[in-house]
Every structure is written in structure tokens, then in C-alpha cells.
Structure 1
Amino acid sequence: MRGFCKRQLLWLAVLPLLAVFAPPAEAQMREGPGRWVKKASLPIPRTEISVAELDGKMYVAGGYVPGSVTSYLLHEYDPATDKWRERRRMPLGLNHVGLIGHEGKLYVFGGFIRQNQDPVANAFVYDPKTDEWKEIAPLTSKRGAIALASLGGKIHLLGGAVGVGFRMRKSVNLHEVYDPAANKYASRAPLPERRDHMGLVVVDGRLHAFGGRYESFASNSNLHDVYDPKADKWTPLAPLPTARSGFAYGLLDGLIVVIGGEGMKGVFNENEAYDPKANKWRTLISMPYPRHGTGAAVIGEVMYVPGGGPVRGGSRLTEEHEAFSLK
């Protein structure tokens, strides 16, 4: 298959995520553009969360919480006041849900009901104005750790993992589009390689898919492909310098920024940016508190990164919340 050797994927034995309890390794701090600022902590420590921006606010859904690997929680953060508030909880307790803000509402797709395993097909929409959830058409297959992007009035859903239990867990290369108006899904050109826990960003009407993993963090990916919806075709681009998965990402000042993540050696503090115009990556200032299992919301010229796990796997949680900017 394209990429697993030619594009420097790491092949090692698959390990159960929670079997790893190693303390975080000393991370090498890298200098570069940008700065970090501490923000109000999450109300409760959480990892394997899903993060989305909607109408100038950040939302954090699901994840692992103290004593449980699933959560119904939905928190809303207002950067104007640096304060959190809890909103109506999700109808189903999950981790690794697909979460996206789209045309005034939040959409949730799939997720896991156990520790990074046993996916569901459930899908919901949340209206922040009424603080109400509504069930929508389920996914065509049960899966979690899906990457989402809003483009052309529809929602693209890529990759993810299927199967019951770790032994049956498999990454997929599915690419589907959900139409909220019709409440239906349609297939599009699949990912060039199977992946989950990856990043997906829209730049100039095209989808950039990057990083992630094949089955587990033992085989992280540095793949970076762009999808043209007009041609329904994928094209390879400059690979992610640091192969990793479970990272925070977003489009900040025209650059695709990738922060943190995990791999076989632990969690990453790497902060790297891709310039779509030059098809090149560069190093930014390191993440002060390395972690994975988080996400990011870009609001204005600031990228907010809440929660996550300071060691690989899910044995430790944090309420840490930092904001990154290039200016």
C-alpha cells in the first residue's frame, strides 16, 4: 500500500492503549515563531475529547473523565470572558466522537462506548440557542475517531476505526458526505490509506488530511493528502514532519497548525505548521505542556487547546488549557 514504507510510517507491534502507564519523557523544547498563554482550566480533567468552534465559542464533548472512559459532558468556553459553562449533556456517553460546528449547530457522529473501542453509529445535532439535542440519521457503519470538515454546506467524514474489541479494531479509509438538509450520506473518493485519529482542514475549497494512525499509535502516519471535491480526487502533498496521531490542529492565519499528539515514545510537544502556498512545513515554538487526546478551536487569531492526556494511552487526564497565537 502507498505510504507505509515510502512515506516513512513506523511499523511496530500493536499495543492496547491503556496497557501503557509510562511517565512522560523529557521533551525537548524547540524555539520558533508563536507564543503560548495559559487560559481558564477545563472544569474537569478530560482526555480523548472532541473540540469544535461554533459562532466564536469553543465546545468540548465526551471523552474520558475521572472514573470513566465515557462522558456525556458538553462544555462551552467563551474566549471573551475566559469562562466555561456546562451545556445540556449529550444523549449518549462516548469518547472519540466526531464533533463539528456547522451553520449554527454542533454535529456529533459516532464515537466509542469503551476504551478507544466498540464504536457506535449514532449521530446527533445540538442547537446552542435552545440547548437541545436531536437525533439524526445514523452513520452507515459503526465507527469512532473520525475526522470531520464543513465544506459547501455539507459535512465530510473521513477515516475512523471499526470493529468490536481491540483484536477486531480496524482503521478504515471511508469518505462520506452528510447533507443536513436531506439528512442523508453519500460516498466520495476514499482516503488513499486507512487511518483514524488524523487531522482534516479545509483550505481554499479543498480538504487536507494529515497524520493519524493505522490501527494504533504503534504505526503512526506522516501522510498528507489533499482532496479536490470538483474532481473527487486525492493528491499527495508534503508529509507531516513528525508522524503522530491524536493531536490538536486547525487553520491559523492561513497555516495548518498541528500540535502535540502521541506515539510509541510518549506524547509530543511538537508544534508544526504547513504553508499551503509553498507546500512546506516549518517548526513553531513547542507546546509547553505536551499531551494528546485533545483538540483545538481557532477563534480569531488564537488557537485554544484544552485538556488531553500527558502520557500516551488514557491512564492520566488533565484540565490544562492553553492558547497559541502566531502574533
Structure 2
Amino acid sequence: MNEEFELSEREIDIIRLVATGASNKEIAQKLVISPNTVKVHLRNIFGKLNVVSRTEATMVAIRMGWVDSPKNENSPVESIASKIDLNEFPVTQIGMSRNRRRWIGALVIFFLLLIIGNIYFFIFFNKNQTNNPTDSLPLQNSQRWQKLTPMSVGLKTMAAVRYEQLFYIIGGETNDGISDSVLIYDINQNSWKEGAKKPNAASNIQAAIIGEKIFVPGGINETGIVLKSLEVYDPREDQWEFKADLPNEISRYALVSFEGKIYLFGGWDGQTYRQEVYVYDPSIDSWDLFSKMPQGRADFAATVVGGRIHVFGGRNEEGILDSHDVFVPQRQMDGENPWSSSSPLPQKRFGFSVNVLADMVYIAGGENENQRNLPVIQFLPPKDEWLEIDQPIIPIGNFPAMIPYETRLYIMGGEVNSEVTSTNQVFQAIYTILVPVVR
């Protein structure tokens, strides 16, 4: 199974130990290698798995079957119920009263019935909604939004990524012009600081992270010129370097990292909407033309979910799009058509941000010819349908940044009523239910 990610047997051994919570030193002792060697292996593993943390690497290992998982994916009820681990109840079989056993059994059954009831209510609720998602979407009403410390300056069309427990907001456009700043947000401290400035100020950019490096291609500079440079930021050293130029000038593109490579879709070269799909291989520092999209577009977004790249919306010479295309790179390599269509956006939309949390796609920001401040929406891949979620107190506007972390979505900046904002707000997308332990 490790051929998909091309991990060596040594790397498989390391990822299994990582899944147990072992430190680098403990891994080194068990495998009789140095801690520095462990660090090198982990850096390679992160790059190959397209992850930036031990937790994400462990989740991939579980999904690939390298590490045993207590999760049963046969049914939604069993999947949720499996999280209630009876081994967490520190009760010995010998000497435990029959009444206590019955009490524990009743408690478990109660929580299972509660979960089952919620699942059936959710299914029944969805079935009774209108069949036209454009006119009316099911609402998930709750007070889940919270204001956080704003950025030091209003920004839009900036690049944004997470590395460890820090967010990196790079470049973009302010009310005064094009930015070369690197703003760093500390999740735990709810505070901002600045990093080394980007070599070329640029807006209309995106970023991808591979192997602990942040890659930022192209963009538009302060004089309106479209760039073709690839600038790479090292968050550990707070330093920038240049890598291989793009084949042509490009901005307003969509960018994802997938299986250790960077995929750049479409964009604007200063004159035309592009439909090429370029792939950058960091191991050889080279760009290659890989495929073409069904149509050229700009001001759109893409994300990876379920081993596929989903491409949403945007605009071109024909107008604003509601398309939702799915790209499978392996099919392109096999000589097949790599593109297919999925459920379109509920509204035509451009200038938005997209990301994935718990295998669900979220889209925030954007506008169309009829509406500004479009609602935040959620896409459920297994059901191929869209939902409208609880909306923020502060409007998001166009070209914001959105970054997921744990159970939350952080949304920063954007343009509202022709004013670039510095807002920073968080949405609690997932709640965790704690089951009491009987001692």
C-alpha cells in the first residue's frame, strides 16, 4: 500500500512509531539511529505525504493501513460509536459488581441511542429540504463565530498557509497598494508578528507547503506587471530563496500541493485567461505542462479531498462561473480523461477562499453579478451536495484567506464595500463530545 506515496520500509517503521506518540529521541533509540536521521526521515515523510504535522501524518498512515485504527468505516453509526472505547473504563472484571457493569452498559447504550437519533434526525431533515440548493440551502444555526486579534493591516488576494501552529499570510493588496509583508499569526497566543519580507511585493497569489517550505509562484506586482518567479520561504529560518521560474507569467490562479508536487491551475497572464495545468516537482526544481482545464479561468480556487483535486468557480471572458470540476492526476498519467463534473456551486462565485476540514469542503467569501458577501457554504463529497452554514457576524467579502486548524476555520481579511479589511475571525466547525469515565 505504501507504493502510492513511495515510502521506504524505514519510513514506514518511523511513521508507525510516530503514531504511538514516540519522540524523535525515542524513535532513534528503538531503530538504533541518530535523532538527526529521524528528523531527515520525518521531513521526507512530510513531503511525500503532503502533510506538515505528526498528527496529519498519523491520519494518513491510518488511512493507508500502515497503522491499525479503532475506527470502523462500515457505517456512520459504527464509525461514531467506535470512538467510545470501553478500554478507557478502568474497571477490572474480577471484583466488579454486577450492578456497576449494568450501569456502564446502560450508559454506553444511552450514548449510542443519542447518536443514532441525531443521525436519523439529520437524514430526515435533509430529505425534507427543497430540491433546489440555489434558492434555499439547509441552514445549520448556531453561534459558532468568534472575533480574534485582527491583522495589523487590511489585506486581500494574499497567500495563506499553516505551518505547525502558526499561520503565514503573505503579500496581497492593502488599501494603499501591493504588499511584500509576511504576517505570522500564533494560534495559541492569538497574536501577530512579522517575518522576513517577500522579495517581490505581489498580490493575487496563493501558496502551497511541501517539505517544510512555503512555495509562492507568480502574482501581480505594484506596477501591474504579472510575474513568473517562484519564491520559496523557509519558516524555520525566516528566509526567502528563488526557485525555477514558471513557464510564463501568471496570477489569479488556483494552487494545491498533492503527493509531494505542486499543481497550478489556470489563471491570468495579463492578457488572457489560461487553462493550463502546470506541475512543479521540488525534487528536481522543474515545471512541466501536465494537463489543461475544460476552460480558462481566474479568481477561482482548488483543494484536495478524498485523493482528488476539486476546482471551483471563478470567472473568464464568458462571465462568472458556478462550475465544480474534479481532477484526478493519475488518470492523466494513464492516458485517460482526468476531468469529471460534480455538483455545481449554489451560486456563481469568484474571489473566494476554499479549504478542507474533516473531509468536508468549505468556501468563504466571493461575489457575483447579483450579490456581494455571499454566504459561507459547505460541500459534502459523499452526498455530492452543498449546505449553507451559520453565517459570520462580520461580513467576509472578496478575496479573503481561510485556514483550517483542528476543529476550526480561521478567516482573515477580504474586501467589503470597497474597503480592504483586517478582520480575523474563527468558526467552530466541529464539536467534540466527551464521554464520562466511570471509575
Fold-level similarity (TM above 0.5): yes
Match of 2:351 among 246, 255, 262: 246
C-alpha displacement of 1:114? 4.6
Match of 1:321 in 2: 424
How far apart are residue 101 of structure 1 and its match? 2.0
Answering whether residue 168 of structure 2 is matched by residue 53 of structure 1, we say no
Aligned to 1:91: 199
**Residue 364 of structure 2: aligned partner:** 259
1:184 maps onto 2:289 in alignment: no
Report the secondary structure of 1:230's partner residue.
helix
For residues 44-83 of structure 1, the C-alpha deviation after alignment (integer angstroms, 9 at most, x for no partner) is 1122222122223211111122322x11111111111111
Partner of 1:100: 208
**Distance (Å, rounded) in 2 between the aligned partners of 1:55 and 1:186:** 30
Larger RCO: 1 or 2 (CA < 8 Å, sep 6+): 1
Structure 1 position 323, deviation (Å): 0.9
Q: 1:197 aligns with which of 282, 299, 324?
A: 299
The match for 2:44 is none
Q: Which amino acid aligns with 2:422?
A: E
What's the CA shift for 1:318?
A: 0.8
Answer yes or no: is the 8 Å Cα contact 1:262–1:268 preserved in 2.
Answer: yes
Aligned with 2:147 (options 27, 38, 44): 38
Cα separation, 1, equivalents of 2:401 and 2:293: 21
Q: Pick one of 387, 395, 417 that aligns with 1:282.
A: 387
Residues 1:145 and 1:227: Cα distance change in structure 2 (over 3 Å):
same
Structure 2 CA distance, aligned partners of 1:98 and 1:269? Answer: 21
User: What TM-score does the superposition give when structure 2 sets the normalisation length?
Assistant: 0.63
From 365, 374, 378, the counterpart of 1:269: 374
- Please state how far the C-alpha of 1:213 moved relative to its aligned partner: 1.3
Distance across 1 between alignment mates of 2:405 and 2:211: 16
* Change in 2 beyond 3 A, CA 1:40/1:140: same
Which structure shows the bigger proportion of residues in strand conformation?
A: 1
Larger Cα Rg: Structure 1 or Structure 2? 2
| Amino acid in structure 2 at the alignment position of 1:133 | W
One-letter code aligned to 2:220:
F
Find the aligned partners of 2:298 and 2:222 in 1 and give their Cα distance.
16
| 2: CA distance, partners of 1:178 / 1:246 | 24
CA RMSD of aligned residues (A): 2.0
Aligned to 2:404: 298
Return the letter of the residue paired with 2:400.
T
CA distance in 1, matches of 2:296, 2:216: 21
- Check whether the contact 1:201–1:208 (CA below 8 A) recurs between aligned residues: yes
Unaligned stretches of 5+ in structure 1? 1-27, 164-168
* Gap runs ≥5 in structure 2: 1-135, 333-337, 431-439
TM-score (norm 1): 0.83
How many aligned residue pairs are there?
288
Residue 270 of structure 1 aligns with an amino acid whose one-letter code is: P
What is the rounded CA distance, in whole Å, between the counterparts of 1:31 and 1:229 in structure 2?
34
2:240 is aligned with 1:133: yes
